[in-house]
Amino acid sequence: MNNVVLIGRLTRDPELRFLPGNGTPVSRFSLAIDKPLSRDKKQELEAKGQPTADFINIVVWGRQAENCANYLAKGRLTAVQGRLQSSSYEKDGIRRYVTEVVAERVEFLEWGDNKGSDFSNDSSDFSGIEGFHTVDDDDIPF
């Protein structure tokens, strides 16, 4: 079984490329995933200049790759479900190894310019769509 589920923040904007020949879109980005550390341990590592997160490379193919490039940006909270893939190549006589997640599903957990918070209360993005209207939080029964 090879299944990976991650939630983290993008460390850079997605990079979109198209394969030569068939033009298949492929997007690459990385996620910073916080390590499960106590507050004291996290402060200790930060004071020593050591990382408190893991940085995971993500590859997305097809239409979903284009969506990632168009709608994701550095710092956005994102969920990825996919499979782990490892490969190697030789450069300058040195064997290099690469491990990355090939995303099968990407969920955008933040939208717009509201980095650091969950969904925006601004419904202007949906105002032109029939059937959508502003709902006051006091009207929600839960």
For residue 73, the domain's CATH number is 2.40.50.140
30 within a domain of the structure (yes/no): yes
57 within a domain of the structure (yes/no): yes
125 within a domain of the structure (yes/no): no
Number of domains in the chain: 1
**For residue 70, which of 118, 110, 27, 30 has the smallest C-alpha distance?**
27
Residue 97 lies in domain: 4-113
The per-residue pLDDT for 8 is 94
Written as one letter, the residue type at 24 is T
Cβ contact 83:94 at 8 Å: no
The per-residue pLDDT for 43 is 87
If phi > 0 it is left, if psi is from -120 to 50 it is alpha, else beta; for residue 93 that is left
CA distances from 127 to 46, 67, 113, 118 (A): 44, 22, 18, 20
The per-residue pLDDT for 35 is 87
The per-residue pLDDT for 52 is 84
The per-residue pLDDT for 128 is 56
d(CA 75, CA 108): 12
CB atoms within 10 A of CB 101: 21
Percent of the chain with pLDDT over 90: 62
The per-residue pLDDT for 104 is 95
48 within a domain of the structure (yes/no): yes
pTM for the model: 0.72
The list of the chain residues with pLDDT below 50 reads 114-124
Beta bridge partners of 15: 28
89 within a domain of the structure (yes/no): yes
41 within a domain of the structure (yes/no): yes
83 within a domain of the structure (yes/no): yes
141 within a domain of the structure (yes/no): no
